[in-house]
Structures are given as structure tokens and as C-alpha cells.
Amino acid sequence: MAAIGRQESIVEIKWINFESLPWALAGLGDEDEDVAKQLGTTLKQRYQDTRHLQHHRVTIDFLDPDRSRKRELQQQSELFLTGVALAMLPVLDKEVALLMFMFIIESRVEGAHSVLKRIWAFRNACGA
């Protein structure tokens, strides 16, 4: 029973993480562009409300017109939120597609960490 509760907690923590910036930016690739634009508007407002805090460089590149290292990406993000179709914004389209892999990479990295933790626990238990 405890194992099931632990697994549920892990999944819940992962989903909470994916609702935060920059992970939530992957939602700009939603197949329903109206949903994606609504999410983008929400994320932009969330960023503006917390702009004074430290943010991941990916978040800044997408949402901050003053500090973005990728000006064209930030400009296309703005155009997308004002109604331009994602298919007409090649830089944004590519960057959003790359963000979609974040979930796969996260799973691969966490899987490797899990194996290392189990090996470490076994070695400690055996006194090795």
C-alpha cells in the first residue's frame, strides 16, 4: 500500500513540475492552437508577474523581450500570441517541437538516476 502511495506522489510531483516554467512552454505545441495561445498568454503573464525572480534561460528566451538571447524566437512567440499560426513561425515551431522531447529526456535521466540509487543502496546494505 505504501509503495502505491509513493508512486502516486512521484507522478503528482512530476505533473506539478511540468506545469511550471519552462516545462509548461511545451504546451505551445498543443494541436489546438487556441488552447496553445491561451496557455501562452497565461505563461507570459505568469512570467511578467515573477520577472524579478530568477528564471531558466529557456523561459527568458521565449518570453522576455529585453533579455532573450534568441530575439527571433521571442518575437515569434509574441506573434503567435497575437494570432499568427504556428506553421507561419518556423523558429518558434522548431523550438516548441524540441521542447516536446523534454518529457522523454526527463524520463531517461530519472531512470538512470533510479538505477544508480538502487546500486548505491545495495552497496551500502552489503557494506561494499
End-to-end CA distance of the chain: 31
Instruction: Determine the average pLDDT of the residues in 13-32.
Output: 84
**What CA–CA distance (Å, rounded) separates 120 from 15?**
27
Task: Give the pLDDT confidence of 34-43 residue by residue, as tens digits.
Answer: 999 999 999 9
Name the residue type at position 124.
N
Mean pLDDT calculated for residue range 40-67: 94
C-alpha 44/C-alpha 41 separation (Å) is 5
Closest residue by Cα to residue 93 from 29, 30, 8 = 29
pLDDT at residue 114, rounded to an integer = 65
pLDDT at 92: 97
Q: How many residues are given for the chain? A: 128
When mean pLDDT is compared across 13-17, 39-43, 82-86, the lowest value belongs to 13-17
Q: Name the grid cell of 34.
A: 487556441
